[in-house]
A = this chain, B = another copy of it.
Amino acid sequence: MHLLLRRTSLRYILNHMVQYTNAHLDASFAALADVTRRGVLEQLGREEASITDLAAKFDMTLTGMKKHVGVLEHAGLITTQKIGRVRTCKIGPRRLEEAEAWIAKFQQLWAARFDELDKIVEELNRKEKIDGRKKRK
């Protein structure tokens, strides 16, 4: 393959990978931005449950719970399976690794940024001490 073409393809693939991750991160974080959906995940982390069970547990209409389950399923955080008239929900397959990794990276940036500011403050304090000593002389 021509080198330029290969580079273009590689960039195309990488770009798609980044877009894929971004879309997943958007969906994961959006799914977590609701107290009921977080509760459903915790509940399914303990044991699988039907949508009817979940609606009763979270004191919600079946229609309301179906919407929440849909958001969680779309984000890949739960799977559902209909057997007869009952739709059972389980956690998985996604484990929020990407979301966890993003937050960890941000925490590192945060710590580094504030270490930097600490150094500036320390430097200013040191200079102030030296200036104070000079004035006293």
Contacts and interface: CB of A to CB of B under 8 A. Distances in A.
Q: How many copies does the complex hold?
A: 2
Nearest to A47: B113
Interface stretch (A2-10, A55-63, A93-101, A123-131): A93-101
A92 B109 contact: no
A112 B114 CA distance: 36
A1 interface: no
A96 B103 contact: yes
Helix, strand, loop or mixed for chain A's interface? helix
Given A35-B22, A104-B100, A113 B29 contact: no
A65 interface: no
A25 interface: yes
A25 B38 contact: yes
Contacts of A115: none
A42 B92 CA distance: 29
Contacts of A32: 25, 29, 99, 102-103
A80 to B, nearest CB: 16
Contact of A92 (B29, B41, B110): B110
A113 B106 CA distance: 28
Contacts of A83: none
Identify the interface centre among A25, A32, A42, A105: most chain B CB within 10 Å of its CB. A32
Contacts of A114: 92
